[in-house]
Amino acid sequence: MRRRSAVKTLALAAGSTLAGRNLAQARQPSHGNALAATAESRAILVDTTKCLGCRMCERACAESNGLPEPAKSIEPGKLRDTSETQFTVVNRYETENGPVNVKRQCMHCLQPACASACLTKAMLKTADGPVIWRGDKCMGCRFCMLSCPFDVPKFEYDSANPRIQKCSMCFDRLREGESPACVSGCPAKATVFGTRTEMLELGWSRIYHEPDKYVHHIYGEHEAGGTGLLYLASVPFDQLGFRTDLSRESYPTFTREFLYAVPFVLTMFPPFLFAVSRATAGYRQEDPEA
Amino acid sequence: MATVSADTPGFWNGTRRFARFLAGEMKPRGRLLTPFNVITVVIMATAAVILYVRFTRGLGSVTNLNQDVPWGLWIGFDVITGVAFAGGAYVLTFMVYILNQEKYHPIVRVTVLNGFLAYVFYAGALLLDLGRPWNVINPIIGNSFGVSSVLFLVAWHFLLYMTAELLEFAPAIAEWAGWPRLRRWLNRLTLGAVIFGITLSTLHQSGLGALYMMARDKVHPLWYSEFIPIMFFVSSIFAGLSMVIFEGSITHRVFHHRVGPDLERSHDSILRGLARICAGTLFVYLFMELIVFVHGQKWDYLATGWGAWYLLEVVGFVAVPSVLFLRGVARKSPRVIGTAAILTLVGIMLNRLNISVIAFKWYLPVRYVPTWQEIVVTLAVLSAEIWVFRWVVNRMPVLDDAHVRSGRLERVERASASAA
Ligand code: SF4
Ligand code: SF4
């Protein structure tokens, strides 16, 4: 059913060699060509091996976005999800390498499912990278929530004037030339902000410098077609609550074919139907019951 | 009846007469205190209160929707299942106007009316579910076209298709109001509206399935496949026709006095024809299910509880009714055909709800179950539709078939005129 173009197949093949952890080839920025348009988009690199789990980013986020202050103490062992009042959470996972802290928020996909799902363009992928939500457009259909492979957008179910809430990568701060609040607020420099190309280079160079410390995989480099949040870790990502079964193709691809078919059906069906109705018109008088 | 034509004494006179006619038609016919009326009024009144709460306190106050399950019963049943059930209109207009199967002409109007109302009410239920309904015009007036969105396509198609169906039904309204000129003019639009309507239906019936293409990791693998759009389209054929059969048998009994002689005579033969098509498309669908199942290598899932649930749907409500339909045709038994239709409808409901609600995020520990309020509102939407349907059928020439005969006459005249 899905016809991959030769180019796409090539790009995909290039991608899989990369995942094959072949160092020589991985150095080549082969991810660049398929996504040339987004080369300058901003990204955040999260190095989970550096994260202390102090949750300062949660506070910085709440403060910057005018959200209620996150709970002081959290139940140990409990995994939290982001919510309509908390755009980023840090969870602690017990793994084979001991505890690992993972900060989660919107992944700011390169080709976001949420934005392509949105029928009003309320969800918007900005040229700088952040995926933002615009209340004057949104009609609250929640199709973005249904479509997001990371289940990020949250809805204010208890409001008569509900908003879709999620991390905006501090879009307004970025415009002022600042970093996202969570990045600025991190005392351990576990998060780094820059262009996506830089962040990938930084990520891979950390992996090469300490090949035994890291798994040789940057989560977000290819997941869901590539994301604006990139993760380094010391243990396989499925131990850290990441979905590892996600497609490497971007999610909008899955509906693209259907949408491509639409203009064809719209232009070809009517004349065809008309022709058939003409061709069968003779039956009318010959119909014995008529 | 009022007649508006060029030689009426004055526009105002005509309008006044029509208003009086309308006022007369508004009066209820028949007894008011029937069990059906009492129950549905209670349901609708309750729903009004629920909706008031919903619009003042938010969706969370009356529904069990949550961050994990953004779409529940109102979308899964009212919209996604309801629209599949309303598929009969495009299939029948295809048979009658495109394939010129005159035999089915007597039931076209009632089916189109049903389809139109279903779209108005079920697709209208979409509005109840919108968090920010005041922005619903955004994708329509064009200040923000999300053209890459399947939902954008579906929303637009709903709107256009309602217009097409209204046009298809409009001659009946013109006949009822006594506007023969308008009627003749509207009649000429029918074929165009039909062609447009079928094209739109093909796209949005499958489009409803395509809504789930990006939720591929969230729908249980037994129900998810890339072929959902095609499967939705094929299944809308037998879903729609089964609804026609089911509704037809009820309408036939309840509105017996309105049924015309042609329809009375050919009803059973029409039924068998529809049953044959249902059986055929059900087989095609079953075959597609099988291919998708084998191709997707889903054997392992069969041994789970979800596998049993899946088998129940596919065997119990697809395979069984397809055989029953054939049997009903062979035995000329309306009862067997009716049973098959009901089973098919249950199957469609299961299928649509499985994809949208039941097997959606099957991995969650806490399942979404609709609140009683969600159910009451759904029932109220259904009741309101039946009320309007009843009002129309009791007044407009929907089930009587004079229009079919006169239409046929017109066509024969036109044909002989062009031949001469
Ligand atoms: S993670 Fe979800 S909400 Fe964030 S950009 Fe990607 S699809 Fe959109
Ligand atoms: S809820 Fe709002 S942002 Fe999300 S898809 Fe619908 S209109 Fe777009």
d(CA B215, CA B204): 18
DSSP E strands: which ranges in chain A? 42-47, 89-95, 98-104, 123-125, 131-133, 154-155, 164-165, 191-195, 229-232
Nearest CA to A141 out of B189, B249, B123 is that of B123
- Let me know if residue B16 belongs to a domain: no
What confidence tens digit (pLDDT) does each residue in A107-139 have?
A: 999 999 999 999 999 999 999 999 999 999 999
CA distance B240 to B233: 11
Instruction: Decide if A228 contacts A161 (C-beta within 8 A).
Output: no
Q: 3-state SS of chain A: helix, strand, coil percent to 5?
A: 35, 15, 50
Taking alpha carbons only, the member of A124, A90, A88, A122 closest to residue A109 is A124
Min Cα distance B337 → chain A (Å) is: 24
Exposure string of B15-31, with b = 16+ CB inside 10 Å and e = fewer, is eebbeeeeeeeeeeeee
Contacts of A118 in chain B (CB under 8 A): 146, 149
Q: How far is A200 from chain B (nearest CA, A)?
A: 26
Alpha-carbon distance of A21 to A218, in angstroms, equals 11
Residues in chain A: 290
Interface predicted TM-score (ipTM) of this complex, two decimals:
0.88
User: Which member of B102, B155, B227 has the closest CB to residue A119?
Assistant: B155
Provide the domain count of chain B: 1
Maximal CA-CA distance, chain A: 88
What is the pLDDT at residue B287?
95
Q: Answer whether residue B73 is part of any domain.
A: yes
Is residue A59 lining ligand 1, measured as CB closer than 6 Å? no
Q: What is the CATH number of the domain that holds B376?
A: 1.20.1630.10
pLDDT per position in chain A (290 positions), as tens?
Answer: 344 443 343 333 333 333 333 333 333 333 333 333 444 789 999 999 999 999 999 999 999 999 999 988 888 778 899 999 999 999 999 998 889 999 999 999 999 999 999 999 999 999 999 999 999 999 999 999 999 999 999 999 999 999 999 999 999 999 888 999 999 999 999 999 999 999 999 999 999 999 999 999 999 999 999 999 999 999 999 999 999 999 999 999 999 888 988 989 999 999 999 999 988 886 554 444 43
Residue B418 is predicted with a pLDDT of 57
Q: What is the pLDDT of residues A160-202, one digit of tens each?
A: 999 999 999 999 999 888 999 999 999 999 999 999 999 999 9
Domain of residue B179 covers 33-407
When scoring A80, A257, A258 by the number of chain B Cβ atoms within 10 A, the one with the most, hence best to mutate, is A258
Contact in structure between B243 and B85 (CB atoms under 8 Å) = yes
CA distances from B171 to A43, B131, B398 (A): 60, 37, 10
pLDDT at B420 over 80: no
Residues in chain B with CB shorter than 8 Å from the CB of A115 are 148
Instruction: Give the number of A-B residue pairs with CB atoms closer than 8 Å.
Output: 189
Q: Does the CB of A278 have a partner CB in chain B at under 8 Å? A: no
What's the CA-to-centroid distance between A43 and ligand 1, angstroms? 13
* Mean pLDDT, residues B80-95: 94
Asked whether the beta carbons of A133 and A168 are under 8 A apart, the reply is: yes
In a domain, B19, yes or no: no
Q: What confidence tens digit (pLDDT) does each residue in B328-349 have?
A: 999 999 999 999 999 999 999 9
Share above pLDDT 70 across residues of chain B, in percent, rounded to a whole number: 92
Q: How far apart are CA A204 and CA A225, in angstroms?
A: 18
